[in-house]
Copies of this chain bind each other. A is one copy, B any other.
Amino acid sequence: MSTTNWMETDEVGLKLALEQAHKSYNEGGIPIGCSIVASDGTVLGVGHNERIQKSSATLHGEISALENAGRLKAQVYRDATIYTTLSPCLMCTGAILLYKIPRVVIGENSTFLGGEDLLASHHVQVVVIDDPECKELMNRFIREKPKDWNEDIGEE
């Protein structure tokens, strides 16, 4: 795991993920967003947590972005980076491993720590940005709707 290796081109990916997080928050939902971007900059999919909006138990930000990206060939995933505003839970970590996405950029992992170690043990490059905007948005939501948040991580 690394907090360096943050590339300029990654700014677009995290910006898209953050836009999704804000969109979800503005809908009354859990503010976690995600984008999946190919190495040539092509945006393959974006999505955000849909627990509240769709009464969904599985549409976390990463699952939502993968779902919105549709059916892709294995080599497309293997050339992509997934950007998520928050550390991926074990379900989303498993999805990243299923499709062998080689690189994960995480906005922050101070409000929740997910599968970074599991990703690293499968040789996935993990970059943690520790982004203040991601943290502020997530902390605000946890203060406002702690029950929804705890339900989302299987704790309530």
Contact = CB atoms under 8 A, between A and B. Distances in A.
Of A73, A94, A95, chain B has the most CB atoms within 10 Å of the CB of A94
Copies in the complex: 2
A48 interface: no
Contacts of A94: 89-95, 115
Contact of A74 (B51, B67, B95, B155): B155
Interface in A58-84: 58-59, 63, 66-67, 69-74, 77
A100 interface: yes
The 9 closest A-B pairs by CB, nearest first: A94-B94, A90-B94, A91-B95, A91-B94, A90-B97, A91-B98, A99-B154, A58-B67, A90-B98
